[in-house]
Amino acid sequence: MTGGRTVGGETLPGAGGEDADAPDRVVCHVDMDCFYASCERLRHDDLAGEPVVVGMGYEPGESIGAVATASYEARAFGVESAMPISEALELLPRRADADPDDPDAPDPAETGRYLPVDLDFYEEVASEVKDVLRDCADTRREVSIDEAYLDATDRTAWTVAGGGDETDDDPADPPPSGAAGPADARTLAEGYARHVKGRIEREAGVPASVGVAPNMSAAKVASDADKPDGLVVVPPGSVAEFLAPLPTADVHGVGPVTERTLAELGIETAGDLAAADRDRLADELGERGPELSRRAAGDDDREVTPTGLPKSLSRESALPTTADGATKRETVSALAADVARRARERGCLYRTIGIKAVEPPFDVNTRAKSLPGPVDDPDLVEEVALDLLGEFDETPVRKLGVRVSKLDFAETDQATLGGFDAGDAEGGGSGRDRREEADGGDGGKLSDWVGGPPEHGAGDADDDPEGDEGRRRTGEGQASLGDWS
C-alpha cells in the first residue's frame, strides 16, 4: 500500500489496496436529482426555478395519471412521486389555469407546470450520463435510469489531498473538506466525486447528487443526505457515527413495513439498530434483521457488481452541429471501430448493427440492419454504419452513435454473409413520430441504446432496496419507469 493520512483517528491508505473488500474501498452512489424534471428543464429554459410535475399516463389538461417525479419546488407544495395527478392538482394547480385578473382562479405564484412523461428523451439524456460513468469507472452497477454505483478504488483513494508522503503535510492540519457531511479533510476521493459530478453536469446538462463511502449502503445514504446537487463524503472510520442519528427509514434496505416493525421494538435510529440484539432481529425479520443491523453499524461487504451481460454495445460522440458529410463519416468510422473492438474484447458476437443521429435540438433518429447470424467483423460494422448514415447526408446533426446488438456471448459458429442483402431488415425512426423497428423491434427503440428493457422494477431486496416492498418511497426520488441497465 502507498502512504496514508490520519482522519478521524484512522489511518487512511492511499491507492494500491490489494483486497477489494478492504475498508479502503471507494464506492460512489450517483443519484440524479428529480431526473425527469431536470431533463424537461434541459430543453425548456422557462422551467428553471418553477414547480415541475411530470406525470405517467398524464395528458395536458387532464387530471388522470400519477406523478412520476416532482421538482423540489413542487415538493414544497406537498406533491410526491406516485401521487395521483388529481391529488397533486389540488395541492398545486396547473399554471395554465391561473389568471391574475380572475379572483376565483389560482394564484400564479402557487401553481406549477405539468408535463407528460417522455421516456425516449429521458433515456437519451440517461445515455449521456451513462457515457460519463463508463468513462469514470470500470466497475459500475447501473440500478435504474437515474442512479448507479461506482467502485472507484482503482481510480482514487482515501488519501488526504496533497498527501502521498508523511512529510508532505501535517496530518494534524489537513486541508478542510469541501463536501457536506462528516469528512473533515479533503481527500482524493472527494476530488474524484467532484470530477464525476462536474462531467455529468457539463456533458449531460443535468444535476446529480453523489455519496462517497467505503461501502454501498453508506454511499447510498450519503447521496440522499444533501440533495439536490449534493456531495457527501463519509471516510472509513466515520460511517457508524454518520449513520447513528439517522432514522431507521434512512438505512439502506429498510422500507415502511420494516420501519414499523423496528419502531414496535423500540428501535428508532440507525444507532439503535446497530446496537440491537441481532438474535431478536432475526426472530422478527428473518435473516434480513441482522444484515440491516450490520449495515446500520457501517458494515457492508457487498461488492459493486454489474447487473448482467449487456444487451448491446454502443458508442456515441457529441459534435458541434454540422451537416458536413466528411465529418460525419469520419466520426461514424471511428465509433464503429471502437464498438467492434469492445465487442471483440468481451468475446461477443452481434446480429444487428445500427446508428443513431440526433438532430438539434433533440430529435433522435435510429436506423439498424440485421444480419443472418452472429458475427465478429469490424469491417462490416463500419460498412453497415456508413451505409445507414447515408440517409442523413444532408442532415445537420449534433450527435452520432454506432451500436451492435442482439449480442451472443456463447461460443458459436458465425453465420456466413452470403444472404446478407436478401435477409436484412431495416428500421429506424425520427423522434417519437415515426419509428419502423428492425428485426422484431430491435434497432428502433431508444431503450435499446441504454441497455435494453428493464429486468426488474425499482430494485430488489438485496441489490437496491428502497424498502422491503421493493419499491421507491413516495415523496422522494421519482417513480421508476424502467431500469437503466
Q: Give the residue numbers marked as catalytic.
A: 147
Q: Positive or negative CA dihedral for 480, 208, 122, 444?
A: negative
Nearest in space to 130 (alpha carbons), one of 116, 114, 144: 144
Can you tell me the distance from the alpha carbon of 289 to that of 284, in angstroms, rounded to the nearest whole number? 7
Can you tell me the distance from the alpha carbon of 301 to that of 23, in angstroms, rounded to the nearest whole number? 9
Query: Which residues share a beta bridge with 367?
Result: 355, 428
Hey, what's the cell of 135? Answer: 468513462
Omega cis (within 30) before 320: no
Q: Report the amino acid identity of residue 398.
A: R
**SS3 state at 234:** coil
Q: Report the amino acid identity of residue 361.
A: P
Can you tell me the distance from the alpha carbon of 100 to that of 266, in angstroms, rounded to the nearest whole number? 52
Hey, what's the cell of 286? Answer: 428473518
Residue 77 buriedness (CB in 10 A; 0-12 / 13-18 / 19+): middle
Give me the phi and psi of 67, to 5 degrees please.
-75, 120
Q: Report the amino acid identity of residue 347.
A: G
Can you tell me the distance from the alpha carbon of 326 to that of 51, in angstroms, rounded to the nearest whole number? 44
Can you tell me the distance from the alpha carbon of 377 to that of 398, in angstroms, rounded to the nearest whole number? 28
What Cα–Cα distance (Å) separates residue 405 from each residue in 294, 349, 368, 443, 446? 41, 9, 10, 8, 13
Contacts of 436 (CB under 8 A, 6+ apart): 426, 427, 428, 429, 444
- The DSSP call for residue 252 is T
Can you tell me the distance from the alpha carbon of 58 to that of 64, in angstroms, rounded to the nearest whole number? 6
Dmax (CA) of the chain = 75
Query: Which residues share a beta bridge with 149?
Result: 29, 141
Can you tell me the distance from the alpha carbon of 41 to that of 125, in angstroms, rounded to the nearest whole number? 12
